Amino acid sequence: MQRAWRQLLLKRKKTDGRQLPTIPKGCFPKLLKLLIDELNINASRNIIAGFKKTGISSLNGHEILARLPDRDLGADNQSVVEDSVVTLLREMRYGSMNIIEPKRKRKLNVLPGKSVAAEEIEDYAEN
């Protein structure tokens, strides 16, 4: 998609857009339509190739194992897949980002027009 878009922009720069630094607002939808038409030519082949690469289409185990990082294909394939799935599930369940929910802020009941100093905040929070 990026390749087709860049080719389309380059073609436009060589013809109609050689004097304009940017794409005019009215031309963008037409360029987008040309891009979609260009992508629809190979859409079915691209989808099939994507499924083959992931190993889903014909369920090719070697394709899937080749895409797993840091694993030796000589090891038992069953254990390699099990280990990577278990590792993924652990990361999803227990998380590794250490994001903590912020504490809830307290409402201070202060009379209108009265100023509050930092030392007085605890007194207002208790009331």
Contact call for residues 108 and 125 (beta carbons, < 8 A):
yes
Instruction: Look at residues 33, 34, 29 and name the one whose alpha carbon lies nearest to residue 11.
Output: 34
> Rounded to whole angstroms, how far apart are CA atoms 97 and 101?
12
* 84-110 pLDDT, tens digit each: 887 877 776 766 545 555 677 777 778
Write down the pLDDT at residue 83.
81
* 33-73 pLDDT, tens digit each: 989 999 999 888 888 888 777 766 666 667 667 766 655 55
Write down the pLDDT at residue 37.
92
pTM to 2 decimals? 0.41
Considering 6-10, 55-59, 93-97, 121-125, the range whose residues carry the highest mean pLDDT is 6-10
> DSSP 3-state assignment of 82?
helix
Domain ranges of the chain: 2-70
Distance of CA 112 to the CA centre of its chain: 48
Does residue 116 have a pLDDT over 90? no
Instruction: Give the residue-averaged pLDDT of 20-37.
Output: 87
Write down the pLDDT at residue 35.
93
Write down the pLDDT at residue 121.
77
